[in-house]
Homo-oligomer: A and B are copies of this chain.
Amino acid sequence: MVEDELRLADTVHRGLTDAGFVVELVHDGENAVWAATEHNYDVIVLDIMLPKLNGYRVLELLRARGVWTPVLMLTAKDGEYDQTDAFDLGADDYLTKPFSFLVLVARLRALIRRGGPERPVVLTAGDLTLDLTRRRVERNGREITLTPREYGLLEFLMRHRGDTVSKTEILAGVWDPAFDGDPNVVEVYVRYLRKKIDTPYARHAIETIRGMGYRLNPEGG
């Protein structure tokens, strides 16, 4: 979700999370383009009025980059840009502020359904599975309970499974992008995850690439 009005962003964020969505929030156009290019979201909620790059341009950039994630635009009723623009630009749906929260959820579900079966709802790596909608992690059919942070980290690693991701990237992707604390947290949480996920298995699903970062074995370790 890309929304700069903090109040609205917070409300919607909470509501969507309660509705079972996993929500990532950015507050301006530049971060939106970056995040959407980097991750593979199911759907993007995009406000038109944004700092740095407006929603208009964000959408344009994403499409130019070959990012075809469905986009639902939020337009102000009497703003500079009207509904026609949203569709012209390749938005998949739009809502005019103020909008009903239930309508938003319904539209999002429709978009995700429409975008369809090729989009994974469940990430897998060998015998490890992570169900994004239910927020469940299993290994070999046994459920593993994770804290929110642990879950976020695992989701990030699974989205990039097979790639080596640096601790900095992890911090930016899982922690607050502006987090500036000790990168050692990542090590600590990797440890927590390994404890829960790898034991009692022989091989580590999460490999350490010394000097570079971590890598989730696509075969699940």
A contact set with B: CB distance below 8 Å: 60-61, 64-66, 87, 93, 106-107, 110-111, 113-114, 133-136, 147-148, 151, 162-164, 209-212, 215
Contact = CB atoms under 8 A, between A and B. Distances in A.
Tallying the copies of this chain within the complex gives: 2
8 A-B pairs with least C-beta separation: A64-B110, A148-B211, A135-B164, A134-B163, A133-B163, A135-B212, A64-B107, A134-B164
30 contacts: A60-B106, A60-B110, A61-B110, A61-B114, A64-B93, A64-B106, A64-B107, A64-B111, A64-B114, A65-B110, A65-B114, A66-B87, A66-B93, A133-B163, A133-B164, A134-B162, A134-B163, A134-B164, A134-B215, A135-B164, A135-B209, A135-B212, A135-B215, A136-B164, A147-B210, A147-B211, A148-B210, A148-B211, A148-B212, A151-B212
Contacts of A64: 93, 106-107, 110-111, 114
DSSP majority for the A interface?
mixed
A134 B164 CA distance: 5
A60 B147 CA distance: 41
Contacts of A212: 135, 148, 151
A101 to B, nearest CB: 16
Contacts of A60: 106, 110
Given A133-B163, A148-B210, 14 more contacts: A61-B114, A64-B93, A64-B106, A64-B107, A64-B114, A65-B110, A65-B114, A66-B87, A133-B164, A134-B163, A134-B164, A134-B215, A135-B163, A147-B211
A73 B135 CA distance: 37
Contacts of A106: 60, 64
A109 to B, nearest CB: 8
A17 to B, nearest CB: 22
A148 B213 CA distance: 11
